[in-house]
Amino acid sequence: MMINFFRKIRENMIKENRVSKYILYAIGEIVLVVIGILIALSINNWNEQKKTEEKTKSSLLALRNDLILDTLLINKNLPEIKFQFQLNESLRTRIAKPKATLDTLIQIARYEFNPNWNDQIIYNTNAYNSLNQTGLIENLPDTLKTLIKNFYNRKFQLNNMVERITTDYRSKVADYVDTYTFGSTSLHDQGPLIDSLVWHEVNPDHLAAKFQGISNFKRILFSSNLEDMENALNNSRILLRQLNQYLSL
**Dihedral sign computed on CA atoms, order 20, 22, 28, 33:** negative
Q: What is the pLDDT of residue 86?
A: 96
Is residue 145 within 8 Å of 138, Cβ to Cβ?
Answer: yes
Nearest to 233 by CA among 65, 73, 61, 64: 73
Q: In sequence order, which residues have a C-beta less than 8 Å from that of residue 60 and are 6 or more positions away?
A: 131, 243, 246, 247
CA distance 116 to 112: 12
Residues in the chain: 249
Name the band, by pLDDT with cuts 50, 70 and 90, for residue 198.
Answer: confident
Residue 203 clears pLDDT 80, i.e. is over it? yes
**Dihedral sign computed on CA atoms, order 237, 238, 241, 242:** negative
Residue 235 clears pLDDT 80, i.e. is over it? yes
Collapsing DSSP to helix, strand or coil, 190 comes out as coil
pTM of the model: 0.77
Is residue 67 within 8 Å of 123, Cβ to Cβ?
Answer: no
Who wins on pLDDT, 217 or 48? 217
What is the tens place of the pLDDT at every residue in 19-70?
555 566 567 667 777 777 777 677 666 666 777 788 999 999 999 999 999 9
What are the sequence ranges of the domains in the chain?
Answer: 2-247
Rg of the Cα atoms in the chain: 35
Amino acid at position 90, single letter: S
